[in-house]
Amino acid sequence: MNLEDRKIIHVDMDAFYASVEQLDAPELKGKPLAVGGSSKRGVVAAASYEARKYGVRSAMPSVTAARLCPDLIFVKARFERYREVSQQIREIFLDYTDLVEPLSLDEAYLDVTENKLNYPSATIIAYDIRRRIYETTGLTASAGISVNKFIAKVASDYNKPNGQKTITPDEVLEFLEELEIRKFHGIGKVTAEKMYQHGIFNGADLKLKTKEFLAEHYGKSGLHYYNIVRGIHKSAVKPDRIRKSLGAERTFSDNISSEIFMMERLNQIAEEIERRLAKNNVAGKTVTLKIKYSDFKMQTRSKTIANYINKKEEILEIATELVRQESFRESVRLLGLSLSNLNTEDKEEEEPVEVQLEFEF
């Protein structure tokens, strides 16, 4: 099948965690709401649209969110409830196609090129899915529809909340050329600023850069940028999405600077990772230590070994090496460990990996 003949839908729930909380507690509807801890170490996992008007965003420190929005209401995350609703939504997707690739609890790709209801239009399918989600859960969703995952993902943000946008094959190139560079999925704030310095402000500017230029200045991602601005994104919708890493992290109520305290916390984190590895029946070769300092600056240290490991003692041994690799320059507010280079990976897949953050409260 020609890649341009594919029909891909990206469905993204609107402010999912916050919307579930407002659904279950009607008195919260229409009010600025943040899901997450309200303590000085808390982090916003999700914000309602009422809160977003004040600049409150996910991953923002709770103290910053409260300063931006003095009337902000904090509620504790209930992931079991979110998973329950997510499963209801997943079942709706499966009525249309078995080619469903969840990215998280609140978003997924669907390949409806050939669908169970034999609908000729992916746009109609997206409308129908969004209608059924609302009737089943009381929640709204947005959708993007196009010929590949990248464009569908970008399109789903266009008419949020509770809307959708279709980019047909003959509209793809013009759409990408006019697209602001910061709206390209996968191009974050730091990369966008770098691109501005190179005179790249939209897709048309990006398209003018040669493959060699992009590789020189953006490394392996350069080829990805070169392709996506030309509408080339060959990644298929994978129902059984391959896990790329598994990890856990902890934010501390008080900054720590003692190596003894750090090792105590890392021991707890390694125990949690061992449990998750056993549950998923996986092992890995690369251990990464994540450090967030008291000034919020982040550092990672990694080590790859020849054999697969999945036991706490093995993970902690390498983590200890990484801790002692160099002195910590400040006190520490967060420590995390992850195991990657897993024995489940498809070695032929070379697309950029999407990282999902897990917030601990």
Largest CA-CA distance found in the chain, in angstroms, rounded: 63
What are the structure tokens assigned to 126, written together? 């997206």
Catalytic residue of the set 21, 107, 249, 314: 107
Cβ proximity of 337 and 315 under 8 Å = yes
The DSSP string of 126-186 is HHHHHHHHHHHHS--EEEEEESSHHHHHHHTTTT-SS-EEE--GGGHHHHHHHSBGGGSTT
β-strand 107-111 against 8-13: which pairing, if any? antiparallel
| Residue 114 annotated in active site | no
Closest CA to 164 of 142, 132, 180: 142
Return the axis-axis angle of helices 79-94 and 16-24, rounded to nearest 10°: 110
Residue 188, phi-psi category: left (phi > 0), alpha (psi -120 to 50), beta (remainder): beta
Given the structure tokens 């229409």, which residue do they identify?
30
Catalytic residue positions, numbered: 107
